[in-house]
Chains A and B, each alone.
Chain A
Amino acid sequence: MSLSYLTPEFKVLRDYDKCINCKVCMRQCSFEVHSYDEHLDKMISNDMNCVNCQRCVVLCPTQALTIIKHPQTFKEHANWTYDAIRDIYRQAETGGVLLSSMGNDRPYPVYWDKMVINASQVTNPSIDPLREPMELRVYIGRKPDKIEIDENLNVKTKMPPQLKLETPIMFSAMSYGSISYNAHAALARAAEELGILYNTGEGGLHKDFRKYGKNTIVQVASGRFGVDREYLNTAAAIEIKIGQGAKPGIGGHLPGEKVSEDISATRMIPAGSDAISPAPHHDIYSIEDLAQLIYSLKEATDYQKPVGVKIAAVNNVAAIASGIARAGADYIAIDGFRGGTGAAPKRIRDNVGIPIEFAIAAVDARLRSEGIRHTISLVAAGSIRNSADIVKAIALGADAVYIATAALIALGCHMCQKCHTGKCNWGIATQDPNLVKRLNPEIGYKRLVNLVQAWSHEIKEMLGGMGINDIESLKGNRLMLRGIGMTQKELDILGILAAGE
């Protein structure tokens, strides 16, 4: 191939006054950016390979390194931007579909940041969570319309199976394959300690993690990786993955570089080959087929476990969700267009799907208008970045949220968006044993526990400020939100008033 027209995206700045030639940076970079030149007796960097994962920056004992966006620019052009031009160079050189990782990074508006939350004053005292009891527990699952009891107050109603969450947060689906064994170990252990659940994603359940079964949701995705009787019965719940927010309409993709022996055994596929899940489930071509699969899974597990369905947020998500509710699902997880992924075609990730804020509001409103909202649980996903996003998601109508990108960032992810290369320097999105060991599950799970506990405390503070002491009273409580800088139409769809009203 002739000369590449691409210049480096990032530039490594090394302060030679501080560099002690310890070579930690060289040893830690899987992209082979740093090397020691004997003749010059100094460390040199190959900027072309740098992806700005900042592993070297963080580990350098004298903070001698800084990674900046490469100052090389094109002539200013509001339409043919830096990225637009470079994407064409890449495709001209390779003839391939552009892949990227993590979630949509385009500057679409973030509606979480256009909503503000209420606080009580004078007419209603705010509640102090350090002094008054504050309940965050939620139960995910199908619920009956009413309770049936006999004269002796014995409960006659048969309650469908429920998932008990001590706080309305769960770890979202990330497959073993897209992320490492150690990352799963950290997630599983943190879920157990926090009293919540984590989702195996479509990569199957590694036998070492079966002991965390009661804190595990297993996925049945279109590739049906790892699905057998033991898989289904070990878990606390089963989730049928129809789609995910990062790539609605297409299936999962695990590049061959990441299919190690262990992955091959867990997923029951040949090692080294790309694992591409088909776009639809080839036994679900319509809503009645979905109902059939839901009930097959319930039969296979004796109706003991909730069976949920995960969909991507797309244009007519409300109608789809309504259909899923009536098909017998116990909960619906909706993944907005900002959702993360281990690998996806860049154009689909950045252009397909709708924001989760609108999706949740629309689905909640539709299910309510049909009188069935109280019978099913809704889980919101797709870039929940902090505890305020969680409060807003629940006020818009969710019962709980899924976090994934936030969890990985807690584990050390620096959002370099190169997961698809399998060279994650933080040991998260890789199967290379040299790299996987960098994520110590002992440290990782504590960081996750810290994050969720901190967020839970913040949620309690915000609830207390609103004069609420039970998360149930926030569900769908849209009067607690006001919009800033939104059009009337956006306010209408979200079902909230504008600030000042």
Chain B
Amino acid sequence: MKKVYVKEEVCVGCRLCEVYCITSHSKYKDVLKAFKLETQRPTPRIVIEENKPVSFSLQCRHCNDAPCVKSCITGAMQKDPSTGVVICDTDKCVGCWTCVLVCEFGAIIRDVNNKVASKCDLCAEAGEPACVKNCPNEALVYSEGGISA
């Protein structure tokens, strides 16, 4: 399945991926409105790791044998059998943060405003991940087999 891979040698640490991740999961889906109108700015679903000069954005790896799915106490965290995307059903999520603890990559974030888990869903509605589309230096790639594919 297609996942997001990062070329950290060209990541410039601008965090526009975060901005567009927030926008694509907002109510208004428009950058200005997402940041100005919504009373609570949505939590981004990616983690930016930085140790200058190295930087990169980290997304959920949608693991085949996902620890977060196995450990979810309510069954909110599910791997969709057809697309392979691991999605958190926020209606069921109780904010116990077990998934945050068990994720080997540290890719899940606590959305403290809504008390639910926040993680990458590969922008399932939009079709192409917003972070990939908007990276100004083509550091993110959405492909089957890694950055060279």
List the interface of chain A (C-beta within 8 A of B): 18, 20-24, 27-28, 59, 61-62, 432-434, 437-438, 440, 442-443
Structural contact, A440 and B10, CB atoms closer than 8 A: yes
Shortest C-beta distance, B14 to chain A (Å), equals: 5
Q: Which residues on B sit within 8 Å (CB–CB) of A28? A: 12, 14
Q: Which residues on B sit within 8 Å (CB–CB) of A61? A: 16, 19-20, 31, 134
Structural contact, A22 and B15, CB atoms closer than 8 A: yes
Known contacts A22-B16, A22-B19, A440-B137; 16 further A-B pairs (Cβ under 8 A): A22-B18, A23-B15, A27-B13, A59-B136, A61-B16, A432-B53, A434-B13, A434-B52, A437-B9, A437-B10, A438-B10, A438-B137, A440-B10, A442-B10, A442-B138, A443-B138
Structural contact, A433 and B53, CB atoms closer than 8 A: yes
Identify A24's interface contact among B10, B14, B52, CB under 8 A.
Answer: B14
Identify B32's interface contact among A62, A437, A438, CB under 8 A.
Answer: A62
- Report the nearest A residue to B20, measured CB to CB: A61
- Report the nearest B residue to A22, measured CB to CB: B19
Q: Which residues on B sit within 8 Å (CB–CB) of A23? A: 15
- Which chain B residues (1-44) contact chain A, with CB distance < 8 Å? 9-16, 18-20, 31-32, 35-36
Q: Which residues on A sit within 8 Å (CB–CB) of B20? A: 61
Q: Which residues on B sit within 8 Å (CB–CB) of A438? A: 10, 12, 137
Query: Bound state CA distance, A443 and B141, in angstroms?
Result: 13
Shortest C-beta distance, A15 to chain B (Å), equals: 11
Q: Which residues on A sit within 8 Å (CB–CB) of B138? A: 440, 442-443
Structural contact, A59 and B36, CB atoms closer than 8 A: no
- Interface: B139 (CB within 8 A): yes
Q: Which residues on B sit within 8 Å (CB–CB) of A22? A: 15-16, 18-19, 35
Identify A27's interface contact among B9, B14, B53, CB under 8 A.
Answer: B14
User: DSSP majority for the A interface?
Assistant: loop
Identify B137's interface contact among A24, A432, A434, A443, CB under 8 A.
Answer: A443
Q: Which residues on A sit within 8 Å (CB–CB) of B16? A: 22, 24, 59, 61
Shortest C-beta distance, B110 to chain A (Å), equals: 21
- The 3 A-B pairs at the shortest CB distance, nearest first, are namely A20-B35, A433-B53, A440-B10
- Report the nearest A residue to B11, measured CB to CB: A437
Q: Which residues on A sit within 8 Å (CB–CB) of B137? A: 437-438, 440, 443
Q: Which residues on A sit within 8 Å (CB–CB) of B19? A: 20, 22, 24, 61
- Report the nearest A residue to B139, measured CB to CB: A440
Query: Bound state CA distance, A46 and B16, in angstroms?
Result: 23
Query: Bound state CA distance, A445 and B139, in angstroms?
Result: 15
Q: Which residues on A sit within 8 Å (CB–CB) of B36? A: 20
Query: Bound state CA distance, A23 and B14, in angstroms?
Result: 8
Identify A59's interface contact among B9, B14, B52, B139, CB under 8 A.
Answer: B14
Query: Bound state CA distance, A445 and B7, in angstroms?
Result: 17
Shortest C-beta distance, B34 to chain A (Å), equals: 8
Structural contact, B35 and A437, CB atoms closer than 8 A: no
Identify A20's interface contact among B10, B31, B52, B53, CB under 8 A.
Answer: B31
Q: Which residues on B sit within 8 Å (CB–CB) of A18? A: 32
Q: Which residues on A sit within 8 Å (CB–CB) of B53? A: 432-434, 437
Query: Bound state CA distance, A437 and B13, in angstroms?
Result: 10
Q: Which residues on A sit within 8 Å (CB–CB) of B9? A: 437
Q: Which residues on B sit within 8 Å (CB–CB) of A62? A: 31-32
Interface 1/0 per residue, B99-140 and A, CB below 8 Å = 000000000000000000000000000000000001011110
Query: Bound state CA distance, A434 and B9, in angstroms?
Result: 10
Q: Which residues on B sit within 8 Å (CB–CB) of A443? A: 137-138
Structural contact, A20 and B136, CB atoms closer than 8 A: no
> Can you show 11 pairs from A to B with CB atoms below 8 A apart?
A20-B31, A24-B16, A27-B14, A28-B12, A61-B31, A62-B32, A433-B53, A437-B12, A440-B10, A440-B137, A442-B10
Query: Bound state CA distance, A442 and B148, in angstroms?
Result: 12
Q: Which residues on A sit within 8 Å (CB–CB) of B12? A: 28, 437-438
Q: Which of B20, B31, B32, B138 has the most CB of A within 10 A?
A: B32
Q: Which residues on A sit within 8 Å (CB–CB) of B32? A: 18, 20, 62
Shortest C-beta distance, B138 to chain A (Å), equals: 6
Shortest C-beta distance, B143 to chain A (Å), equals: 14
Structural contact, A24 and B31, CB atoms closer than 8 A: no
- Which chain B residues (41-76) contact chain A, with CB distance < 8 Å? 52-53
Shortest C-beta distance, B37 to chain A (Å), equals: 11
Query: Bound state CA distance, A501 and B94, in angstroms?
Result: 87
- Report the nearest B residue to A438, measured CB to CB: B12
Query: Bound state CA distance, A54 and B134, in angstroms?
Result: 18
Q: Which residues on B sit within 8 Å (CB–CB) of A24? A: 14-16, 19
Query: Bound state CA distance, A297 and B142, in angstroms?
Result: 50
- Report the nearest A residue to B18, measured CB to CB: A22
Q: Which of B13, B14, B18, B36 has the most CB of A within 10 A?
A: B14
Query: Bound state CA distance, A432 and B16, in angstroms?
Result: 21
Query: Bound state CA distance, A18 and B20, in angstroms?
Result: 15
Structural contact, B31 and A27, CB atoms closer than 8 A: no
Shortest C-beta distance, B16 to chain A (Å), equals: 6
- Report the nearest B residue to A60, measured CB to CB: B16
